[in-house]
Amino acid sequence: MKNYKDPISLFKQTNFSKTIWWKLKVNISGYQNEKETKLVTEIFKNRIFKLLYPNIHQQTKNFSRILIQLYEDGYICWISLDGLIIEKCELRKIENLKYEQSFIKGKIPSILKWIQDQSELTNEYLWGGTIGPNFDCSGLIQTAFFLHNIHIPRDSYQIKSFCKHLFYFKESYSSLQPGDLLFFGINKKCDHIGIYRGGGLYYHCSGKEFGRNGIGLDNLKESNDKISLHYKSKLISAGRVIRRYRWDRTIR
């Protein structure tokens, strides 16, 4: 069994390098800032990160949290040193997938099935939730793709920018394919995301106010359902995931 050292001791050994990557050995929470307890994301064991703060000039300060950037999606957040277990990670050279778009398309049925399975579990909306059974809207989508070896950005507006743009919504959704992503918001500012199942239906994780407080199936068709109508009124655009996020090639 490995003897894991104190994380700060490990960072000191590398002079708090910003180019060395580390692998998490436990699930952890990511926070908005250095002090507050507001969750912004949950981070799976075995995900990879690099250190942004502290650095070599600040190593004498007592830290309870560190600022990191995650490898798989470029996301930046604070994590607590309490309970943190890490090991140094050597990144492998990533091969370009010649048929990346086909690979992703082939995973869509399994992604939708996984989301359906999650919807059948007892769950509720959790801001920052990605590990489950409680998710936020983009956490559900990111994790569904992540578990099928497809890395995409963390937040809904980031995913919107990352996807291949299909169209802005007016009336018709006939050109949508299962697995296409739906983006919602006000004045074209995206703050919510769902994934199209087919037949005018889509999965999303919505909150208590105007939503279902968890993962639900809503309708793009004409409906008397107040929740479906509310989200239909906020539809901005549709997009399609045709590539995987890559640290060495993706512009954030």
The DSSP line for the chain is ---PPPHHHHHHHTTT-SS-EEEESS-EEEESSSS---EEEEE-TT-EEEEEES-GGGTTS--SEEEEEETTT--EEEEESTT--EEEEPPPPPPP-TTHHHHHHHHHHHHHHHHHHHHTS---B-TT--SSSSB-HHHHHHHHHHTTT----SSHHHHHHHSEEEEE-SS--TT--TT-EEEEEETTEEEEEEEEEETTEEEEEE-STTS-SEEEEEESSS---HHHHHHHTTEEEEEE--S---TTT---
Mean of the pLDDT values across residues 60-73?
89
- Domains within the chain, CATH numbers bracketed: 7-89 (2.30.30.40), 100-240 (3.90.1720.10)
What average pLDDT does the chain have?
93
- Predicted TM-score of the model (pTM): 0.94
pLDDT reported for residue 151:
97
Q: Are 217 and 210 in contact (CB under 8 A)?
A: no
Give the Cα separation of 176 and 114 in Å (integer): 20
Cis amide linkage into residue 109, ω under 30° from 0:
no
Average pLDDT over residues 163-188: 93
Q: Please answer whether residues 252 and 71 qualify as being in contact, where contact means their C-beta atoms are separated by less than 8 angstroms.
A: no
Token duo for residue 34: 């250095």
Residue 4 is predicted with a pLDDT of: 64
Phi first, then psi, for residue 59 (nearest 5°) are: -75, -10
Given this model, what pLDDT does residue 62 score?
Answer: 79
- Beta-carbon-side half-sphere exposure of residue 166 (alpha carbons within 13 Å): 20
Of residues 238, 237, 235, 228, the one with CA closest to residue 206: 228
At 252 the pLDDT is 41
Residue 5: Cβ within 10 Å count: 14
Tokens of 73: 């999606």
**Per-residue pLDDT averaged across 65-89, rounded?**
96
* 75-93: average pLDDT: 94
Please report the pLDDT score of residue 96 as a whole number.
66
Q: Is the pLDDT of residue 162 over 80?
A: yes
